[in-house]
Amino acid sequence: MSNIRLGDEAPNFTAQSSEGEINFHEWLGDSWGILFSHPADYTPVCTTELGTAANYKAEFDKRNVKVVALSVDGVESHKGWIKDINETQNTTVNFPIIADEDRKVSELYGMIHPNADDKLTVRSVFLIGPDKKVKLTITYPASTGRNFDELLRVIDSLQLTAYHKVATPANWKAGEECVIVPAVTNEQADELFPKGYKEVKPYLRLTPQPNLN
């Protein structure tokens, strides 16, 4: 079973999906990506999740993020399930669902946890950057639906901290103060953060979010 860690390159694969064949890295292109797995089609929690993901498309688009789901069922099953998702969640599924009947992708990404179920995938999320490196992994139990607001929050943090020498504190949301990373000296901070900063402790310096006007 693969053990993918943060910073690893997301394994590439070619697979059939509800929108045709996908070569994962080519499909991602220069975008960020979210790959999330589901134990099987026609499962209740996952039905709500796929509907929510579809309803968040505008938010993902704003952040240059592509979404792709995966289930161990086949394409025809996916297409029937999509009709149910559209009907029950009042949406239109607007992203591909990978058909992983041979569990090739599930094994590549370590989505099968034998102590949970030796056949079905656990409900994993992989957030992947434009450099094809894994930036976030989360695995949820089958009984708990994913929090898509949290995924947006993490994307906002990762995209901010990729370009500015800051980190984001606990419960941070876009627009709130950030933490200046310890490697930046006060002299550098004066130049890098023209909005100023407050020093709570020498290692804890807060500054307004630098990429906002």
The answer to whether the CB of 63 falls within 8 A of the CB of 162 is no
Nearest to 69 by CA among 43, 89, 83, 49: 49
Distance CA 159, CA 155 (A): 6
Catalytic site residue from 10, 22, 35, 46 = 46
Report the distance separating Cα 26 and Cα 12, nearest Å.
9
Q: How far apart are the first and last CA of the chain?
A: 46
Catalytic residue flag (residue 46): yes
- Looking at residue 45, its amino acid is V
What are phi and psi for residue 33, nearest 5 degrees? -145, 150
Q: Are strands 198-201 and 178-180 parallel, antiparallel or unpaired?
A: unpaired
The CA distance from 38 to 62, in Å, is 25
Structure tokens at 98: 């990978």
Active-site residue set: 46
